[in-house]
A = this chain, B = another copy of it.
Amino acid sequence: MDELKGRILKEGHVISSEILNVDSFINHQVDPEFMEKVGIEIAEHFKDKGITKVATIESSGIAPALFTAKALSVPLIILKKQASKILNENLYQTEVTSFTTKKSYELSLSGKFVTENDHVLIVDDFLADGEAAIGALRLIRKAHGTVAGVGAMIDKSFQPGADKLREQGIDVYSLAVIKSLENGEIIFE
């Protein structure tokens, strides 16, 4: 998606050879009109896959996932990073450990919202080490749903996320694939 690549080049800040800051239009400040185009683009790729729900991990993925769900006319499921006090019956949980930070958290999903009849598209802002997406995948399968694919705005292809998902036969679609952030430079694939 050329508009996304253009904004990454114009507004992105390379923090290190692994971290790209896109706070001005994706993570901290969000441009709603641009984000709607992102959702339409991801939805377009998966429109014939029989998707019944879109899922994302709180909270940076919510904006692109919400517009993807809207474009597909299906509900959005927000996978929670902590088990809420009022979210406890019929609850699936899985531990996710970030490759980068080594920190762990519990991801949770109520079995009321994903069942064996659901074919779920996972949408997130970044695809990096893939642990969050793989955790989401595990959780959807625990709830007996099937996974239609993973849509990401930015795939940092020098990290193993997309490859790990494709090894499992998952259709991964990213709008911008960055192959390197070395020496402060953003290089697309």
Task: Name A's B-contacting residues (CB within 8 A).
Answer: 15, 19, 21, 23-24, 27-33, 35-36, 58-59, 62-63, 66-67, 69-70, 73, 75-78, 80, 84-87, 110, 112-113
Contacts and interface: CB of A to CB of B under 8 A. Distances in A.
A124 to B, nearest CB: 13
Contacts of A31: 75
A32 B40 CA distance: 13
The number of times this chain is found in the oligomer is 2
Mostly helix, strand, loop or mixed at chain A's interface?
A: mixed
A80 to B, nearest CB: 7
A151 to B, nearest CB: 15
A117 to B, nearest CB: 15
B77 A23 contact: no
25 contacts: A19-B86, A23-B87, A23-B110, A23-B112, A24-B112, A27-B78, A28-B77, A28-B78, A29-B75, A30-B66, A30-B75, A31-B75, A32-B67, A32-B76, A33-B70, A36-B70, A58-B59, A59-B59, A59-B62, A59-B78, A62-B62, A62-B63, A62-B66, A63-B76, A66-B66
A85 B100 CA distance: 12
